[in-house]
Amino acid sequence: MKWNTRRMRIFLITSKEESVCPCCGSPLKYRDSRRRVQRKAGGRKEWCLIRRLRCSNDRCRRLHNELPDCMCPYKHYDAGLIEDVVDSVVGEEDIETEDYPCSGTMKHWRWWSQMNEKNMEGQIRQAAHRFLDLDRKFLKSRDPLLEKLKERISPGWLKAAVRAIYNSGGRIEPYPATA
C-alpha cells in the first residue's frame, strides 16, 4: 500500500441554510462528506469536501450532494469558467486556457449548453411558477426567460440557473440526447 505524501489543501463546503429535499420537501440530514475536485483555468486543481445529505422522509430517503454555487453538477471545472466559454468570453486562443481546459472540452460545453437550452428554459419557468406563484399566462408566454437571466445576471447566470433548477427538483442532463 502506498500513501499519498503530498500535502493537499481541502476546502470544507458547508451551508448555514436549512436544507430541504427538492424531491419531496422534507428536511435533509447530514450523512457524510466526500472529496470533489474543482478544476480552474490553466490546469490548477482545488479539492473541496462537500456534504452528502439524506432525506428524512422514509418514503424518499434520497441522497443529495450539497454543492456551492461555483460548482455545476457533473462538471469538474468552475461554473464561472464554463459560463465564460459558453458566452464566448473565453476561447481556445486565450493564453490562460491554452492547455486546460482543452478545445474539445470547450466544444463540449458549448454543445451541452445548446442542447440543454430548452430544458433549462422550461425548468426555470416551472420553478418560477411553482415558488413565485406566477399564473398560467406566465407559463405560456414566449418570452425567453433564460435570455433575460443572461442579460440581468452577467456574469453569474449559469450559477443562478443551476441553483434554481436543482433546488426545485429539476435536472440538467450531462449528455443530452440529440433532437
User: Residue 116 — very low, low, confident or very high, per pLDDT cuts 50/70/90?
Assistant: very high
d(Cα 103, Cα 80) in Å, to the nearest integer? 17
- Lowest model confidence (mean pLDDT) among 46-55, 79-88, 140-149, 155-164: 140-149
Q: Which residues pair with 20 in a beta bridge?
A: 27
d(Cα 82, Cα 1) in Å, to the nearest integer? 37
d(Cα 108, Cα 87) in Å, to the nearest integer? 13
Burial class (CB in 10 A: 0-12, 13-18, 19+), 2: exposed
* DSSP sequence for 62-110: -EEE---TTB-TT--BBHHHHHHHHTTSS-TT-STTSSSS-HHHHHHHH
- What pTM value is reported for the model? 0.83
Q: What's the distance, CA 176 to chain centroid?
A: 15
Question: CB count, 10 Å around CB of 159?
Answer: 20
- What pLDDT, on a 0 to 100 scale, did the predictor assign at position 106? 92
Percentage of the chain modeled with pLDDT above 70: 92
Residue 115, pLDDT above cutoff 90: yes
The whole-number average pLDDT for the span 7-16 is 76
Q: Which residues pair with 45 in a beta bridge?
A: 39
d(Cα 113, Cα 108) in Å, to the nearest integer? 9
Mean per-residue pLDDT over the chain, rounded: 86
The whole-number average pLDDT for the span 86-91 is 90
